Structure 1
Amino acid sequence: MQKITPCLWFENKCEEAINYWINIYNTNPAKKSESKIILIQRYSDKPVPNLPMNGLEGKILTAIFELEGQKFMALDGGPIFKPNAAISFEISCDTQEEVDHFWTKLSEGGDPNAQQCGWLQDKYGFSWQVVPKRLGELLTDPNKEKADKAMQAMLQMKKLVISDLEKAFNS
């Protein structure tokens, strides 16, 4: 049972981001379970005097949602906090098709300068690692020389390509 639920702070695009991510997960060619919104609570439609949240009327106070069974909480809290690369979400992919799906969808509108070694930043400023499971196998192979070749190949990539990692490993 999941005991820690990450809480994501948005300036004011929480609902848009949640629906965007749910759509990406639900159109994954290797989808394992349904991703969905579980609960949404909204700010009042009327401004509350002396609160820094004014301007968020009708926006999300808190939302609980799942991406393939992983629960998240999210909220619109204004411009006080911004996402950064110190926290990222890793997506472990079985196939290149799955890597391509998540990479293409999540990088759309994101910062291209943040793309390195399977990491990307989406259009909401959140960082994701789109990683084939095969990478872990290659990097932990007992043959250190081969593992190092795979590592060197990975360090040169933006989106990780399984066949290129294997080619470097076997060279």
Structure 2
Amino acid sequence: MQLKHPLTPCLWFDTKAKEAAEFYCSVFPNSKITQVTHFPDAGQEIHGKPAGSVLTVSFELDGQHFMTLNGGPNFSFDEAVSFMVLCETQAEIDHYWDALRADGGEEGPCGWLKDKFGLSWQIAPAQFGEMLSTEPGASARVMTAMMKMSKIDLPTLQNAYRNAA
């Protein structure tokens, strides 16, 4: 049997798995919830969740499969894991930055942010890898410019890459 989605990130929540999946689907184009499962009566002495409450939500964000899980309060997100959103234009950077930071999210340095659920995201230009892997002078200028940013300013990075003032 061939798995349809052999690599699927699973995001652990206490109780907000469905709310998070709906939020992420509202931010990314071509996204949808594909399945919702619920806790059965069995196992309540272990998981403590009411029968019928949401257990998992499977969803796709622009073709990438994800799952959220209402696993309880034992774990939370930290910056050791993040999702990178590669953007072609400043308008895309602005869209994802504003949408993911909305309603209590926090901005960080160099294109990083945490959304309202505490999940870390990197909103980065698609050409960032190229900008950092070409000649050392261009890489240094781009890195220096980026280190001064919170939300990425693509025209400023492009100017630094081209050695423009």
TM-score (norm 1): 0.85
- Calculate the aligned-residue CA RMSD, in Å: 1.8
With over 3 angstroms needed to count, the CA separation of the structure-2 counterparts of 1:149 and 1:70, relative to structure 1, is: same
User: Equivalences for 1:1-171 in 2 at 5 Å?
Assistant: 2-26=5-29, 34-44=30-40, 49-51=44-46, 53-108=47-102, 109-112=104-107, 115-142=108-135, 144-169=136-161, 170-171=163-164
Q: Which runs of 5 or more structure 1 residues have no equivalent in the other structure?
A: 27-33
Native 8 Å contact 2:112 2:122 kept in 1: yes
Distance 1:137 1:49 in 2: 51
Native 8 Å contact 2:17 2:56 kept in 1: no
Native 8 Å contact 1:43 1:61 kept in 2: yes
Q: How many residues align?
A: 159
Distance 2:5 2:56 in 1: 19
Distance 1:72 1:4 in 2: 9
Native 8 Å contact 1:47 1:54 kept in 2: no
Secondary structure of the corresponding residue to residue 50 of structure 1? helix
Distance 1:166 1:19 in 2: 34
Cα deviation code 1:100-158 (max 9, x no counterpart): 0000000111134xx1111110000100111111222221222x112201111111111
Identity %: 39
Native 8 Å contact 1:153 1:168 kept in 2: yes
Secondary structure of the corresponding residue to residue 34 of structure 2? strand
Q: Which runs of 5 or more structure 2 residues have no equivalent in the other structure?
A: none
With over 3 angstroms needed to count, the CA separation of the structure-2 counterparts of 1:151 and 1:40, relative to structure 1, is: same
With over 3 angstroms needed to count, the CA separation of the structure-2 counterparts of 1:57 and 1:116, relative to structure 1, is: farther
TM-score (norm 2): 0.88
TM-aligned CA deviation for residue 167 of structure 1: 2.1
Native 8 Å contact 1:12 1:59 kept in 2: no
Amino acid in the other structure paired with 1:69 = G
Amino acid in the other structure paired with 1:8 = L
